[in-house]
Amino acid sequence: MPPLIPTQSGTLELHDITIVDQSKLKKAISAAALGNAMEWFDFGVYGFVAYALGKVFFPDASPSVQMIAALGTFSVPFLVRPLGGVFFGVLGDRFGRQKVLSTTIIIMAVSTFCIGLIPSYDSIGIWAPILLLLCKLAQGFSVGGEYTGAAIFVAEYAPDRKRGFLGSFLDFGSIAGFVLGAGVVVLLQSILGEDRFVEWGWRLPFFMAAPLGFLGLYLRHAAEETPAFQQQLEMMEREDQEDVENRPRVSFREIATRFWRPLLICVGLVLTTNITYYMLLTYMPSYLTHNMHYAEGHGVLIIIAVMIGMLFVQPVIGMASDRFGRRPFVLFGSVALLVLAVPCFRLIISGEIGLIFLGLFILAVILNAFTGVMASTLPAMFPTRIRYSALASAFNIAIILAGLTPTIAAALVDSSGNLYIPAYYLMLVAVIGIVTGIFMKETANRPLRGATPSASSKKEARELLVQTYEHIEQSVEDIDAEIARLQVQIQALEARKQQYVDLHPKLG
């Protein structure tokens, strides 16, 4: 079982179990999910208007180069996300999750809003794509601390038995943001027409970031700090008798040496989830339009319908993971992706709307298997005092490769002419997912590392206490067995040593 923080009495008792305040929990879930929805609203809008941005900011290029350049501008900000992850991760472990999340949503809202203000290439020349890139870099820096901070915020608030279900609403917000972004694009295209949309209508979705940002900031400012982080500060005060301002300091050498296995598992899960995510929800609209020659509106409508279906599946996966565990869904999703990627793309390139939708929806359900458990799985890998720093670092290193997915896929398909390239790409990712699922430890219904158990009621707290005692007893038995095994090895080594000693005249 995960290690627990010290209790005041030294023995884990009923009063040591955190009873989660339901009203505070609802605020925490809403604040985290809305911020994540805003992040993915921008990603969704950007993916669906990439063809328009290519015409506005790269007008002298061919349509293929325009598409690759626009998606490349989408991918470049992922290079600065590790910097944002390290920066906000350290701040989050020192000053709290709530303060950092309030900061990231401000940066994200302002940078997204500013994209809508950038003049076209015809107006200011090369400065147009440069300003676009600067806004995307600011987004990348803020997003470096956004998803991981929001996942930690929800996980540290959620009761142990509902962490999968409640954590699934974080990516529910992501998908909802995508749906909203795509829906706004389709609505504007139908109202304004293609010419006016490319001329100025594409700016309107980015302006929506301002009210969404203010609402998210209000919710996050109203939410209190997580119980797990408050426990960490209280433990520091009890142990060190120092001022609260002396926040925990993180040694990255310690993270890399002591927690290398969770770091690798985190990277594997993030790669598997987000490459599938970007392939399906960011690249596929461009794939359907540019490579399959569907009208922009038709391709977008199909993706919107798929995403709406994902909204219904997402919380079901999260709830099921609280009962059956997180590992089974990671393994199931990875195996399904390996086996079904090519058949799904065979359906997608068939040319029939019903088969296209079926192929995309199968991939979407596979994606749900990952997104339904990721937000509850990742925070459970690290103890409270380094959780934000470690998770943000590993997550954003992996996201560099994941964020390149639309650009790489577009370039490979364009250069080779092979429409199955995205399927082969996903099959390679599936292998990473299988390896990750094999080596990851189950965390469902367990306390977070470095935290005492948490429950939603006193009745549940009593049940958790009994369950925790059983885990402790099992851990003690496992340790005793390990000690006995080591003692046998030590005795064998002592006997071997004695044989050498007996052969030496001065040592005998």
DSSP helix/strand/coil, 273:
helix
How far CA 97 is from CA of 18, 21, 86, 324, in Å, comes to: 18, 18, 14, 29
Phi first, then psi: give them for residue 244, nearest 5 degrees.
-60, -25
* Domain boundaries, given as residue ranges, for the chain: 18-456, 458-508
DSSP state of 457: S
Task: Give this prediction's pTM.
Answer: 0.80
| Tokens standing for residue 42 | 């921008």
| Tokens standing for residue 86 | 């390290």
337 closest CA partner among 194, 473, 434: 434
Phi first, then psi: give them for residue 454, nearest 5 degrees.
-130, 145
In whole angstroms, give the CA distance from residue 329 to residue 321: 7
- Residue whose entry in the numeric block shows the structure tokens 């390996």: 338
∠ at Cα 371 (368, 377), nearest 5°? 135
- In sequence order, what are the beta bridge partners of 455? 19
In whole angstroms, give the CA distance from residue 256 to residue 490: 30
How far CA 426 is from CA of 67, 339, 423, in Å, comes to: 21, 10, 5
Residue pair 217/129 in contact by the 8 Å Cβ criterion: no
CATH class belonging to 18-456 = mainly alpha
Residue pair 344/359 in contact by the 8 Å Cβ criterion: yes
pLDDT in tens, the chain (508 residues): 444 455 555 676 776 777 877 877 888 888 888 877 877 787 668 767 776 777 777 776 666 666 666 666 666 777 788 888 888 888 888 888 888 888 888 888 888 889 889 888 788 888 888 888 888 888 888 888 888 888 888 888 888 888 999 999 888 988 888 788 878 888 888 888 878 888 888 889 888 888 888 887 887 877 777 777 777 766 665 555 444 445 445 566 777 778 889 999 999 999 999 999 889 877 887 788 878 877 666 777 888 888 899 999 999 999 999 999 999 999 999 999 999 999 999 999 987 888 999 999 999 999 999 999 999 999 999 888 888 888 888 888 888 888 788 888 888 988 888 999 999 999 999 999 999 999 998 988 888 887 778 877 788 788 877 877 887 888 899 899 999 999 999 999 988 888 888 888 877 6
CA atoms within 13 A on the CB side of 125: 1
Q: Collect contacts of 186-194 with beta carbons under 8 A, ≥24 apart.
A: 186/48, 186/297, 186/300, 186/301, 186/304, 189/296, 189/297, 190/297, 194/296
